């Protein structure tokens, strides 16, 4: 068994290491933010949003799979879970296809979110870069690939 003095030394060393790690984390993150530009912030926004969206959707799919696999689920619950899962997968595929199509128009990044009655398109561009003609190109692209109308579509610069 370790002596009391040895335990205290190990504990103090661990606390110091934790403090140094926290300091370095803050110092390095501040340096990255200070050195970066709006592009860095926008990229972090897109990456963060995608990570959150993927995590949420993975959880939804797991819930649907557990309902489908559960022997205690009724036939109606299983059918409902299968339908919702298929709808979610179709929505994911549609959003991904739209995001790549919008990137194909020359934008650095894009995120598409869709619900039953609307689509939002977040584009990596400034308000000045995203003029009327550019917005119309994006809207027409989305309309061609979906059943939505202009009233249900929003293009938002990030």
The neighbouring-strand residues paired with 119 are 114, 153
Please tell me whether residues 58 and 77 are part of one structural domain: yes
Digit-coded pLDDT (tens) for 105-145: 888 899 999 888 889 999 988 878 888 899 899 998 998 88
CA atoms within 13 A on the CB side of 13: 6
Q: Which residues have a Cβ under 8 Å from the Cβ of 40 and sit 6 or more positions away?
A: 32, 33
Q: How many domains does the chain have?
A: 2
Query: Which residues constitute the domain of residue 4?
Result: 1-35
CA 126-127-128 angle, 5° bins: 90
Give tens-digit pLDDT for 1-35: 557 677 777 777 777 777 777 777 777 776 554 44
Dist. CA 154–CA 140, nearest whole Å: 12
Token pair belonging to 29: 């993150």
Residues 15 and 72 in one domain: no
Task: Report the distance separating Cα 33 and Cα 43, nearest Å.
Answer: 12
User: What's the pLDDT tens digit per position in 46-94?
Assistant: 888 888 989 998 999 899 888 888 888 889 988 999 999 999 999 999 9
Residue 36 has pLDDT above 80, yes or no: no
Q: Are residues 12 and 58 in the same domain?
A: no
Q: Which residue has the higher pLDDT, 77 or 44?
A: 77
């Amino acid at each position: 068994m370790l002596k009391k003095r040895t335990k205290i030394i190990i504990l103090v060393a661990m606390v110091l290491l934790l403090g140094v790690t926290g300091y370095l984390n803050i110092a390095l993150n501040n340096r990255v933010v200070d050195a970066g530009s709006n592009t860095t912030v926008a990229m972090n926004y897109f990456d963060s949003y995608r990570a959150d969206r993927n995590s949420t959707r993975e959880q939804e799919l797991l819930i649907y799979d557990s309902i489908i696999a559960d022997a205690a689920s009724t036939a109606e619950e299983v059918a409902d879970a299968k339908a919702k899962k298929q709808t979610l997968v179709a929505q994911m595929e549609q959003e991904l296809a739209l995001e790549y199509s919008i990137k194909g128009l020359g934008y650095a990044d894009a995120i598409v979110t869709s619900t039953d009655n609307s689509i939002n398109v977040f584009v990596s561009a400034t308000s000045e870069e995203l003029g009327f003609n550019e917005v119309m190109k994006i809207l027409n692209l989305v309309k061609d690939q979906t059943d939505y109308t202009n009233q249900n579509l929003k293009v938002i610069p990030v």
